[in-house]
């Protein structure tokens, strides 16, 4: 039969308890209690270990083994002991691995438990029956003991600031003490920085800088200078301008030029979401606020952008309710999650943007006057592309890359003269069209298109330019691998604002064929450009 031996230290020396195996006791131990062959019941053994203060992990693990191998006892008692042992092990490991200090106090204000971070603050494990007064000054003890449950206080201990909160402990309805959580203020900053880095890893960061804004115009240069000066402040900004002018590009550049650049940049389009979803995205919600998969709660974008920047695009489209919530946030720099009752401080820079006239909306009563002035602290207007035509070709060159050398003079002129109602976004689309088809979109040449100004520097009806336009059309069709008939050529020339008769077109095509620049097939074979024609087109870009 297996036996259990217990060796423990007392104030008078080392004692041993054995079960008829005295020969196993080390010779230096003289005080030996031999329990013979009797098996001790579990409850007696538990009382014995408590009486001689053997409550430690080694003894408890041996008791678990003793339960399973030797002692026969009631299943309820065994299960209860094992369950409590497992729970205590889990709690010890959680508290031991926590970066926060935990101190447990009993009902007589004695320290009964500390984890490792607390031991470092107290310079070792507390002595038996010690109290907070033995380690902290009177003011700190007064703040801790006099605070309401979960109320946070800042105390200074040995030159270090700690955020301290107290939580009561109950056994049924009886208050048996409380525990204290202490957080080093420096660790809070470290944790916030870690969270910010994790958010950055999730993609919540700004990609662009002011150096990425391609421009040559003076008006754009002045706009960038204003934005750079605004970036040095913490003030709320309102970016206005037509759709496609690059408002988010400016918002990202402002963030990256500010002292918040290492923290998150969060962008949301306010018009893309319904009111209820937009509110939960911005402010988050507490657990069980909704049914379904999101019942565990969610951190809102304002919290995710803490210490960084949040970009609210299409701000004019938010509902009156959302206007009130946003106004409260801008006034107090505080939010409350949906379904929550806790105020959360947020340190976030707000950049709003719209392509609508907010002042007109205020006059019409659809946008709050007080919110408008909260947003319009530093207004920045981004000019449309038609107001900075010097930037059109540099931008188009940036979009096309090496293919820009294929652009002919008349096409460049058409790009500059077009009014670009879609601004830079439309210009980028035109570059994609050119890359795909080898020519500009037909909308730039449609007759009656008032956005295209008269090109006085080019005689559109001269044979030379008509020949060049025809070769350009055929070259584009070569890229798409289909030929053009004479009627199709005539219609596409008209789309480019070149109006000629069918007879004149036939004569020009015959001349191009004689020069070896095109081949004219019969029927559906249509007209195609030759390699000589393509070479001539590249040599004569005008």
pLDDT tens for 230-252 read: 999 999 999 999 999 999 999 99
Residue 499 belongs to a domain: yes
pLDDT on residue 72: 52
| Within a domain: 263 | yes
Q: Are residues 238 and 353 in the same domain?
A: yes
Q: Which domain holds residue 435?
A: 401-539
- Choosing from 47, 68, 93, the residue where a domain stops is 93
Cα distance between residue 442 and residue 437, in whole Å = 11
Q: How far apart are CA 413 and CA 422, in angstroms?
A: 18
Q: Of 320, 410, 333, 446, which is closest to residue 371 (Cα–Cα)?
A: 320
Angle between helices 531-539 and 463-480 (to 10 degrees): 120
Same domain, 418 and 514: yes
Decide if 201 is inside a domain. Answer: no
pLDDT of residue 389: 92
Measuring CA to CA, which residue among 268, 376, 398 is closest to residue 322?
Answer: 268
| E strand segments, 197-247 | 237-240
Regarding whether 61 and 123 lie in a shared domain, the answer is no
421 and 336 share one domain? no
| pLDDT, tens only, 297-312 | 788 999 999 999 999 9
When pLDDT is averaged across residues 72-82 and rounded to a whole number, the result is 57
Residue after which a domain boundary falls, among 381, 414, 429: 381
Q: Are 187 and 223 in contact, with CB atoms under 8 Å apart?
A: no
Q: For 415-438, what is the mean pLDDT? A: 91
Mean pLDDT of 357-386: 93
Closest C-alpha among 97, 131, 141, 94 to residue 111: 131
The answer to whether the beta carbons of residues 21 and 5 sit under 8 Å apart is yes
Residue 416 backbone phi and psi in degrees, to 5? -70, -30
Task: Tell me, yes or no, whether 281 lies in a domain.
Answer: yes
What was the pLDDT predicted at 444? Answer: 82
Q: What percent of the chain has pLDDT over 70?
A: 77
356 belongs to a structural domain: yes
Each residue of 378-413: b (16+ CB within 10 Å) or e? bebebbbbeebbebbbebbbebbeeebebbbebbbb
In a domain, 245, yes or no: yes
Which of 38, 63, 93 is the C-terminal boundary of a domain? Answer: 93
**Cβ–Cβ contacts within 10 Å for residue 296, how many?**
9
Task: Decide if pLDDT at 386 tops 70.
Answer: yes
308 with 350, same domain? Answer: yes
DSSP assignment letter at 149: T
492: closest CA among 506, 507, 477, 481? Answer: 477
100 HSE (CA, 13 A, CB side): 16
Residue from 328, 316, 408 nearest 361 by CA: 316
User: What are the C-alpha distances in Å from 84 to residues 60, 87, 91?
Assistant: 11, 5, 10
- Whether 250 and 400 have beta carbons less than 8 Å apart is answered as no
How much is the pLDDT for 18?
A: 76
**Is the pLDDT confidence value at 392 over 60?**
yes
Task: For residue 265, give the CATH number of its domain.
Answer: 3.40.50.300
Nearest one of 239, 245, 216 to 227, comparing CA atoms: 239
305-337 b/e (C-beta count within 10 Å ≥ 16 → b) = bbbbbbbbbbbbbbeeebbebbbebbeeeebbb
Please identify which residue in the block is written with the tokens 């700190």. Answer: 140
Q: What is the per-residue pLDDT for 45?
A: 62
Q: How far apart are CA 445 and CA 422, in angstroms?
A: 16
89 and 120 fall within a common domain: no
Say yes or no to pLDDT of 41 above 80.
Answer: no
How confident is the model over 9-30, as a mean pLDDT?
71
CATH of the domain at 108: 3.30.450.20
154 touches 185 (CB < 8 A): yes
CA–CA separation, 410 and 403 (whole Å): 16
Q: Are residues 344 and 417 in the same domain?
A: no
435 plus 367 within the same structural domain: no
Other beta carbons within 10 Å of 154: 11
* Counted domains in the chain: 4
For residues 457 and 522, membership in a common domain is answered with yes
Q: Are 304 and 405 found together in one domain?
A: no
SS (H, E, C) 236-266: CEEEECCCCCCHHHHHHHHHHCCCCCCCCEE
Computed on alpha carbons and rounded to an integer, the radius of gyration of the chain in Å comes to 40
Contact at 8 Å (CB) between 78 and 69? no
CATH code of 463's domain: 1.10.10.10
Query: Do 418 and 376 reside in the same domain of the chain?
Result: no
Distance in angstroms (rounded) separating the CA atoms of residues 216 and 32 = 96
Highest mean pLDDT, choosing among 181-195, 415-429, 442-456, 496-510:
415-429
Q: Are strands 527-529 and 265-269 parallel, antiparallel or unpaired?
A: unpaired
> Biggest alpha carbon distance in the chain?
129
pLDDT in tens, 3-17: 445 555 554 566 777
Residue 7, number of CB atoms within 10 A of its CB: 15
In a domain? residue 69: yes
Listed residue (362, 392, 393) closest to 375, CA to CA: 362
At residue 481, the 3 state secondary structure works out as coil
Regarding pTM above 0.85, the answer is: no
Judged against a pLDDT cut of 50, whether residue 121 lies above it is answered with yes
Strand-strand pairing, 343-345 and 334-336: antiparallel
pLDDT at residue 340 is higher than 80: yes
pLDDT digit string, tens, across residues 123-140? 888 877 788 888 888 888
- Which residue(s) pair with 155 in the sheet? 162
Q: Do the domain assignments include residue 145?
A: yes
Name the token pair of 357.
């006239």
Q: What's the rounded Cα separation, in Å, for the pair 47 and 371?
A: 70
CA nearest neighbour of 193 among 97, 350, 201, 118: 201
Residues 439 and 531 in one domain: yes
Q: CA separation (Å) from 52 to 49, 65, 454? A: 5, 20, 105
Q: How many CB atoms lie under 10 A from the CB of residue 467?
A: 21
Are the CB atoms for 410 and 459 separated by under 8 Å?
Answer: no
Residue pair 459/436 in contact (Cβ under 8 Å)? The answer is no
Give the residue-averaged pLDDT of 199-218. Answer: 83
């Amino acid at each position: 039969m297996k036996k259990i031996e217990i060796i423990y230290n007392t104030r008078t020396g080392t004692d041993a308890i054995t079960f008829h195996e005295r020969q196993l006791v080390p010779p230096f131990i003289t005080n030996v209690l031999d329990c013979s062959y009797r098996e001790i019941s579990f409850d007696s053994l538990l009382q014995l270990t408590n009486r001689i203060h053997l409550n430690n992990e080694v003894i408890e693990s041996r008791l678990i083994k003793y339960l399973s191998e030797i002692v026969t006892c009631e299943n309820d008692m065994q299960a209860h002991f094992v369950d409590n042992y497992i729970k205590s092990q889990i709690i010890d490991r959680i508290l031991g691995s926590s970066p926060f200090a935990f101190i447990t106090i009993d009902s007589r204000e004695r320290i009964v438990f500390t984890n490792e971070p607390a031991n470092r603050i107290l310079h070792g494990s507390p002595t038996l029956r010690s109290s907070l007064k033995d380690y902290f000054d009177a003011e700190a003890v007064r703040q801790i003991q006099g605070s309401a449950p979960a109320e946070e206080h800042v105390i200074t201990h040995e030159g270090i600031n700690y955020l301290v909160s107290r939580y009561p402990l109950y056994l049924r309805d009886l208050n048996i003490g409380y525990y204290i959580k202490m957080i080093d203020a420096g660790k809070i900053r470290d944790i916030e920085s870690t969270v910010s880095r994790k958010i950055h890893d999730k993609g919540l960061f700004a990609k662009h800088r002011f150096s990425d804004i391609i421009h040559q115009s003076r008006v754009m240069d002045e706009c960038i200078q204003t934005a750079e000066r605004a970036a040095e402040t913490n003030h709320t900004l309102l970016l206005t301008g037509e759709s496609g002018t690059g408002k988010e590009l400016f918002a990202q550049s402002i963030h990256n030029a500010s002292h918040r650049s290492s923290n998150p940049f969060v962008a949301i389009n306010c018009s893309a979401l319904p009111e209820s979803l937009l509110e939960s995205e911005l402010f988050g919600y507490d657990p069980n606020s909704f049914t379904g998969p999101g019942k565990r709660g969610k951190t809102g974008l304002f919290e995710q952008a803490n210490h960084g920047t949040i970009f609210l695009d299409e701000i004019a489209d938010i509902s009156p309710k959302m206007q009130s919530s946003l106004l409260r946030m801008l006034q107090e720099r505080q939010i409350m999650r949906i379904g929550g009752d806790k105020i959360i401080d947020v340190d976030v820079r707000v950049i709003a943007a719209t392509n609508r006239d907010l002042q007109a909306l205020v006059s019409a009563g659809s946008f709050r006057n007080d919110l408008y002035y909260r947003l319009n602290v530093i207004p920045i207007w981004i000019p449309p592309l038609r107001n900075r035509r010097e930037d059109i070709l540099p931008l188009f060159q940036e979009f096309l890359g090496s293919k820009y050398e294929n652009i002919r003079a008349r096409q460049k002129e058409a790009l500059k003269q077009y009014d670009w109602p879609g601004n830079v976004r439309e210009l980028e689309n035109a570059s994609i069209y050119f890359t795909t088809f080898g020519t500009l979109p037909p909308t730039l040449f449609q007759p009656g298109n008032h956005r295209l100004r008269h090109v006085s520097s080019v005689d559109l009806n001269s044979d030379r330019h008509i020949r060049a336009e025809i070769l350009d059309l055929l070259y584009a069709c070569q890229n798409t691998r289909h030929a053009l008939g004479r009627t199709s050529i005539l219609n596409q020339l008209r789309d480019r604002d070149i109006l000629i008769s069918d007879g004149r077109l036939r004569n020009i095509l015959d001349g191009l064929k004689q020069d070896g620049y095109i081949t004219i097939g019969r029927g559906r074979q249509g007209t195609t450009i030759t390699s000589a024609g393509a070479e001539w087109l590249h040599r004569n870009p005008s």
